[in-house]
Amino acid sequence: MENISLVAVAVGLLYLAALACIYRILLTYRTAQGAIAWIIGLLGLPYVAVPLFALFGRYRFGGYVRARRMGNRGLTNLLNRFERQTTSIAAPADQYFTDELQVLCKLGRQPFTEGNRCTLLRDGEATFEALFEAMENATRYILMEFYIVRSDRVGRRIKSILERKLAQGVEVCFLYDNIGSVGLSKTYLKQLTAAGARVAAFGAGNVRRRRFQINFRNHRKLLVCDGTIGFVGGINLGDEYLGTAMDQEPWRDTHCRIEGPAVTGLQLTWLEDWNWASDECPDLDWAPQNNTAGEDRVLMLPTGPADDWETCTLFFLNCINNARSRLWICSPYFVPDFQIMNALQLAALRGVDVRIMIPEKSDSKLIGLAAYSYLVQACKSGVGIYRYQPGFMHQKVILVDDRYAAVGTANLDNRSMRLNFEITAVTTAPHFINSVESMLEDDLDNCRLMTEHDYKDRSILFRLTCRAIRLLAPLL
């Protein structure tokens, strides 16, 4: 009888937990389909669904120190100082400062700045060369944040430079994502710490604040040197971007180098993440640099699950809905939700040249298969899906008409839209737009345009598999 009573209590507690989960779902759900799926699972298989919901059911990143949004005095003051640099900020009356650009400023809670110089870094070789040079020339501090850091040749070169700069008195703050960098050796981190670097893992923040949030990841890749030079884009710290990892073809990816006041926006984003991971605010020079590096207008757009809105989704929708003649998007992962797919179709139907570049060879077989299920929808409306042939294309680039271009870390999938912390650099600089156009034209020459027959002429088993995997899109 005692055992039966214990089992009854356990079952009762389990269903109470399931009801608590359902209560949370009803208060916070984004889509009716997702809510219904969770509720059915929680009522039918609570012993499976309750732990899964604890791990994967959250849609907001609780506890994140959102300095500019939560009123943290120190960080709010930093942003206010940034905004008060009126000579560096494009005024609303500026011809470049259209409604859609104002929307982006509101989404990221950062201003568009002028007086910058943007340089497109077309591949891993150019990116690492520029990263190494900037780090070698740093005299005050180096701020790093990468989703993936490896202990390979590139990683060892990075560590060697950092150790040398630390010996010269340069301050180093090294932030990594503990899920993305799960393979990074502890020895690597211990040696950096022993050399004097401040090291923090984004996913290893205060346990009480973190709770069950392992489904959220910091997908940002950025570097700031002395507050004057910054880098952002899709490239992590690994040999795969040079083609030297296990003799594989190099990953096709893109980064950009930025000088000027926009770098302050980049390092303010870094500071929020660092503050969350380490509970500290480095005593560094956070004032925007007054020197004019160039004439480029740049916005740093951070997005993530701690924001009040689905900022990354709204960013993509803003780009798609405002495109007039051309919309070229590169993303290694193409699993859009219905609103993004509908917006792409509408853009194509109103005459916009919509091209989506995805890889032929993917590092995720499931996502590669799911992408096939969108072909019929895309082709019927005139959306061109191009598969990049040589190697794995990992770049995240957007070109909207001849008006602005964006290089960053966000993909066209649910994870980037709702679960990952991302960052994107947006610029209206004509020379940068021309460079992006030229780069993408070269990439398109290495692509094949897909048709409905790439899906329709495959076996019924293949099509069913693609459609079934697409159902898992929110988890991919």
SS (H, E, C) the chain: CHHHHHHHHHHHHHHHHHHHHHHHHHHHCCCHHHHHHHHHHHHHCHHHHHHHHHHHCCCCCCCCCCHHHHCCHHHHHHHHHHHCCHHHECCCCCCCCCHHHHHHHHHHCCCCEEEEEEEEECCHHHHHHHHHHHHHHCCCEEEEEECCECCCHHHHHHHHHHHHHHHCCCEEEEEECCCCCCCCCHHHHHHHHHCCCEEEEHHHCCHHHHCCCCCCEECCCEEEECCCEEEEECCCECHHHCCCCCCCCCCECCEEEEECCHHHHHHHHHHHHHHHHHCCCCCCCCCCCCCCCCCEEEEEEEECCCCCCCHHHHHHHHHHHHCCCEEEEECCCECCCHHHHHHHHHHHHCCCEEEEEEECCCCCHHHHHHHHCCHHHHHHHCCEEEEECCCCECCCEEEECCCEEEEECCCECHHHHHHEEEEEEEECCHHHHHHHHHHHHHHHCCEEECCCHHHHCCCHHHHHHHHHHHCCHHHC
Fold of 311-475: Endonuclease; Chain A (3.30.870)
- Determine phi and psi for 406, rounding to 5 degrees: -135, 140
Show me where the domains of the chain are located: 2-56, 67-104+111-299, 311-475
Pairing of strands 384-388, 420-427: unpaired
Tell me the two tokens of residue 33: 């389909």
Indicate which residues carry an active-site annotation: 219, 221, 226, 394, 396, 401
- Read off the tokens for 461: 């088993």
Residue 125 pLDDT more than 80?
A: yes
- Pair 65, 268: CB distance under 8 Å: no
Strand partners, 145: 175, 222
Sign of CA dihedral 204, 207, 210, 212: positive
pLDDT at 313: 94
Asked if residue 345 lies in contact with residue 354, where contact means CB atoms within 8 angstroms, the answer is: no
Look up the pTM and report it. Answer: 0.86
Tokens of 22: 């359902």
For β-strands 222-225 and 141-146, DSSP reports them as antiparallel
Tell me the average pLDDT across 434-440. 97
Residue 116 has pLDDT above 90, yes or no: yes
Look at residue 205 and tell me whether its pLDDT is greater than 80: no
Sign of CA dihedral 420, 340, 321, 354: positive
pLDDT at 212 over 50: no
pLDDT tens, position by position, 61-114: 655 544 444 445 566 666 666 655 544 455 555 655 677 888 888 888 888 888
What six digits make up the tokens of 431? 């020379």
Higher pLDDT, 427 or 1: 427
- 250 or 430, higher pLDDT: 430
18 contacts 43 by C-beta, under 8 angstroms: yes
- Of 8-12, 84-88, 176-180, the one with minimum mean pLDDT is 84-88
CATH for 67-104+111-299? 3.30.870.10
Task: Look at residue 375 and tell me whether its pLDDT is greater than 60.
Answer: yes
Instruction: State both tokens at 227.
Output: 């507050």
* β-pair partners for 237: 149
What does each C-alpha distance from 237 to 26, 151, 222, 390, 422 come to in angstroms? 41, 9, 11, 21, 16
Which of 71-80, 209-218, 437-446 comes out lowest in average pLDDT? Answer: 71-80
Q: How far is CA 122 from the centre of its chain?
A: 18
Asked which of 44-58, 103-117, 139-153, 436-450 is least confident by mean pLDDT, the reply is: 44-58
Q: What is the pLDDT of residue 468?
A: 84
pLDDT band at 46 (very low <50, low <70, confident <90, very high): confident
Distance CA 394, CA 234 (A): 7
Stretch 292-303: mean pLDDT, rounded? 88
- Output the CA angle 182-184-186, nearest 5 degrees: 110
Average pLDDT over residues 35-43: 72
Q: Which segment of 100-104, 231-235, 434-438 scores lowest on mean pLDDT?
A: 100-104
pLDDT reading at 417 higher than 80:
yes
Mean pLDDT of the chain: 84
pLDDT above 90 covers what percent of the chain? 49
Whether the pLDDT of residue 203 is over 90: the answer is no
Q: What is the mean pLDDT of residues 424-450?
A: 96
376 CB burial (10 A radius; 0-12, 13-18, 19+): middle
Looking at per-residue confidence, does 67 or 310 come out higher?
310
The pLDDT of residue 126 is 95
Q: How far apart are CA 259 and CA 117, in angstroms?
A: 5
Q: Is pLDDT of 35 > 70?
A: yes
> CB count, 10 Å around CB of 243?
16
pLDDT at position 243, please? 75
- pLDDT given for residue 133 in this prediction: 97
The CA dihedral of 386, 392, 398, 402, to the nearest 10 degrees, is: -70
CA torsion sign, 66 to 69 to 73 to 74? positive
Listed range (29-38, 97-106, 360-369) with the worst mean pLDDT:
29-38
Contact 73, 80 (CB under 8 A): no
Which has more confidence, 396 or 308?
396
Check for a shared fold between 67-104+111-299 and 311-475.
yes
